[in-house]
């Protein structure tokens, strides 16, 4: 039986093979070759795509290189969503590598936030961590940390340093033994066809009778359609980090082991493949 700590490593080191192709409307001085890269599931696009920009800048005039943005099958990719979430949501049942188009002009202001520097990503990342801790511990753990501790979380993510990150993150995963879990579970459920960006609600990991709540309990509460009916017909896949955890999995365990570095469980609900 795999140690629980192995799960933390498997999540952190998950990668998605990706092919970046320059969008045909971009103006180049010579032909641009596609660029291949293994993207970390737990990180954010602008943090890991400097090489992509440099690669395409080589064949373009500086004046034609505006802010880089990415698109998959016509959908601009929100950089403030973790990469693994974007893949699970839009491309999980397609053949690898993931094919993404690269743009340097016509930035879609209605769909995407600008990302002028890494400090913007850091601010967004820390904001998510703080919100998650507000849910788990009323913010007590984050508030007790010093500024250098916050920096350590960010630097761990930025530099892909699992040990550095988890040395600090483990504090955010603690809870009073008598409580049996966090106060509320930080989670967000995403669905491409929905008009809301995501579903986020208050949900306790332990019932009033002391029984641990499962992933199935969470879905029953906030997305009952995702629970397969008795006739065995599965309409949806419930995906986290590219896998479908069993509905009997305790949600507290999922929160401790399958959260993204921002301490949220980002869950994708996608149509089940009809093969």
Span 200-239, contacts to other proteins by CB under 8 A: 200-202
Region binding other proteins by CB under 8 A among candidate stretches 31-39, 149-157, 196-204, 246-254: 196-204
Shortest Cβ distance from residue 190 to other proteins (Å)? 11
Span 111-140, contacts to other proteins by CB under 8 A: 111-114, 116-117, 119, 127, 131, 134-135, 139
- Report how far residue 76's alpha carbon sits from residue 149's, in angstroms, rounded to the nearest whole number: 34
Of residues 66 and 176, the one with the C-beta less far from other proteins = 66
Span 174-193, contacts to other proteins by CB under 8 A: 186
Among 23, 90, 162, 198, binds other proteins (CB under 8 A): 198
Shortest Cβ distance from residue 163 to other proteins (Å)? 28
Residue 71 in contact with other proteins, rule: CB under 8 A: no
Residue 197 in contact with other proteins, rule: CB under 8 A: yes
Q: Which residues bind other proteins (CB under 8 A)?
A: 63, 66-67, 78, 80, 107, 109-114, 116-117, 119, 127, 131, 134-135, 139, 186, 196-202
């Amino acid at each position: 039986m795999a140690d629980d700590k192995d799960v933390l490593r498997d999540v952190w080191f998950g990668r998605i093979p990706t092919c970046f192709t320059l969008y045909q409307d971009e103006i180049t001085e010579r032909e641009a070759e596609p660029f291949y890269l293994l993207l970390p599931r737990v990180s954010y696009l602008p943090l890991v795509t400097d090489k992509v920009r440099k690669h395409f800048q080589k064949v373009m005039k500086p004046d034609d290189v505006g802010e880089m943005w990415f698109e998959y099958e016509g959908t601009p990719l929100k950089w403030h969503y973790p990469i693994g979430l974007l893949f699970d949501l839009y491309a999980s049942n397609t053949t690898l590598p993931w094919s993404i188009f690269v743009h340097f002009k016509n930035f879609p202001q209605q769909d995407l936030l600008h990302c002028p520097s890494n400090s913007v990503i850091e601010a967004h990342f820390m904001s998510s961590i703080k919100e998650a801790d507000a849910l788990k511990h009323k913010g007590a753990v984050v508030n007790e940390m010093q500024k250098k501790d916050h920096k350590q979380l960010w630097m761990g993510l930025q530099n892909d340093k699992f040990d550095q990150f988890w040395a600090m993150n483990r504090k955010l995963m603690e809870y009073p033994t008598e409580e049996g879990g966090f106060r509320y579970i930080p989670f967000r459920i995403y669905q491409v066809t929905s008009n809301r960006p995501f579903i986020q609600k208050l949900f306790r990991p332990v019932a009033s009778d002391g029984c641990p709540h499962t992933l199935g309990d969470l879905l029953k509460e906030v997305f009952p359609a995702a629970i397969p009916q008795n006739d065995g017909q599965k309409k949806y896949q419930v995906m986290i980090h590219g896998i479908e955890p069993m509905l009997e999995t305790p949600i507290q365990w999922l929160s401790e082991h399958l959260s993204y570095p921002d301490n949220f469980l980002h869950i994708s609900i996608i149509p089940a493949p009809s093969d």
